[in-house]
Amino acid sequence: MSHPAEVAVLSWTVEPAVIVPVVVAATLYVRGWATLARRMPERFGRGRLIAVMAGLGTVIVALSSPLDVLGHQLLLAHMIQHVLLMAVAPPLLWLGAPVAPMLLGLPRPIRRTVAIALAARPLRRLTHVLGDPRVGWIVFVIAFWAWHVPALYALGLGSDPWHHVQHACFFATALLFWRPVILPWPARSSWPRWAMIPYLALAELQNSTLAAILTFADHVIYPAYGAVPRRWDISALEDQSIAGVIMWVPGSLAFLLPILWLTVAAIATSASDRSEAPRLAVETRHQGHP
C-alpha cells in the first residue's frame, strides 16, 4: 500500500469472528421484532429496528472497516474504534430493547432451552449482579484504564488475539455500563433515574482525564506508534494529540447528551409532580368531606 488513500479503499476485511455474530444477531432480532411489532406496535416501532441495525452497523464499521487496519498505524484511528465500541454501538443496541425480540427470534426448541436456562437460579443471580449499575460502572472504568496502560496497549497492538480480547472487553463492559442508562424494556431498576446523572458524569470524568493526558503529553505514550513508518503528514505526537481530542470531544458528547436528556426529564417530572399536588390535595379534601 503506497498511499494512505489505498488503505482506506482496499482494507475492508471480512472477519468471521465479527461478521457471523453480527449477522446472527441481526437475523434473530428482525425475526422477533416482526412478531412483536404486530403484537405491540406501540412498544416495538420502526425506531427500535433502526437503532439495533445502526448499532450492529457501528460494530462492523469499528471492526471490519479500514479503521481496523489503520489502528495499527494511527492512534487516532484506534481511538475512533474505541469510541464506536464503547460509546456509540452499545446505547444504540439497548435502545432497540433487544432481549425480547432476540429470544423470540430463536427457533422454538432452542427458545425453550434458553428460557429454562434464564429461569435457573444461578443464571438469575448472575444477571442480577451484572445488571447492578455499580458493577457496570466499575468494570467499564477498569477496562477503560487497564487497556490504555502502555504495556497492555502494546500487547493488543502486537498480537491479533489480544487485540480481539481488548475490543471484546471494551464492548462487553460498555454494554453493562449503558444498560442502566437506557434501561431497555422490560428492564427495571431500583435506582431513581436521576442517579444516572452522577453515574454518567463520573464516567465522563475518567474519559476527560485520559483525553487530557493524550492531548497535552509532550512525549509519545505508546512507543509502537513512534516506531511505525510514517506514511502520513503528521508526527506520532500530533497523531496522539488528535486522538486525545477525538476522545475528548465526540467521546465526551456520548456522556453529556444523555446527562442533558436525563436532567430535562427529571425537571419535567418534578414540575409535573408539583402541578399535580394541589389537585390531589383538593380531591383529598373533597373525599374527606362529602
Q: Which three cell numbers stand for residue 73?
A: 498505524
Q: Which pLDDT value is given to residue 280?
A: 46
Is the bond leading into 4 cis (omega within 30 degrees of zero)? no
38 by DSSP, 3-state: which?
A: helix
Q: Which pLDDT value is given to residue 114?
A: 87
pLDDT at 209 over 90: yes
Cβ 246 vs Cβ 80: under 8 Å? yes
Range of the domain at 273: 4-288
Q: Which pLDDT value is given to residue 6?
A: 55
Cβ 98 vs Cβ 29: under 8 Å? yes
Q: Which pLDDT value is given to residue 283?
A: 54
Q: How confident is the model at residue 87 (pLDDT cuts 50, 70, 90)?
A: very high
Measured CA to CA, the distance from residue 237 to residue 96 in angstroms comes to: 40
DSSP state of 88: I
Residues 6+ apart with CB under 8 A from 175: 90, 93, 94
- Give the model confidence (pLDDT) of 236-283 as tens digits: 999 999 999 999 999 999 999 999 999 998 888 766 656 554 554 445
What Cα–Cα distance (Å) separates residue 127 from each residue in 51, 89, 124, 141? 23, 21, 5, 20
CA 187, chain centre distance (Å): 17
- Give the model confidence (pLDDT) of 43-52 as tens digits: 999 999 999 9
Residue from 55, 188, 35 nearest 104 by CA: 35
Domain total in the chain:
1
Residue bearing the bigger pLDDT, 84 or 127: 84
Strand intervals (E) in the chain: none
